[in-house]
Homo-oligomer: A and B are copies of this chain.
């Protein structure tokens, strides 16, 4: 499985500022509640100046939603071709996924919640990218079943379940809670690989 993601058009540093400010506001208040005025104010320019960088509010949303859906996934999609120990590989992917998503929680949360405000064409494009990752995990689990390193009756469902699990973390995790995000990621990876997927521990084949 090889990445075929098309790159975003090159944008200037101002566009990046706008994107980041908008992302934060969308996260806090929701796409529909955030006006172009509020975005401009957060950047320190006037509303009309935004249109020198983006043609519309929807394009701002699309730009950062595309970024978050190509950055992590694009850099990890090849992991499914790895010939190594599948439970170990998936364990590491889950930990990295959880930590990355937390470090980019504004973009990730806002992106997932506000995705439906994309134009139909953009929504199709983003959905296809997400689908690739989801299918990759499902196929990976199925392959692990055949190898006997996973014992999971429903690989496709398990892939959806584990993605919902780990994407849900950002809605309730608190940095001042009992666990760091790295500790939580580790415990979730255990819960998923050995629990949900029934991975056999090393030297524990039965």
Q: How many copies, total?
A: 2
**A129 on the B face (CB < 8 A):** no
Cβ contacts under 8 Å, A165 to chain B: 161, 164-165, 168
Selected interface stretch from A12-20, A37-45, A46-54, A188-196: A188-196
Contact between chains at A191 and B161 (CB < 8 Å): yes
For the complex, what is the distance from the CA of A152 to the CA of B158, rounded to whole Å? Answer: 18
Cβ contacts under 8 Å, A184 to chain B: 157
Within 8 A of B (CB), among A154-171: 154, 157-158, 160-161, 163-165, 167-169, 171
Cβ contacts under 8 Å, A163 to chain B: 168
Cβ contacts under 8 Å, A152 to chain B: 191, 195
Residues of A within 8 A of B (CB): 29-33, 113-114, 116-117, 152-154, 157-158, 160-161, 163-165, 167-169, 171-172, 184, 187-188, 190-191, 195-198
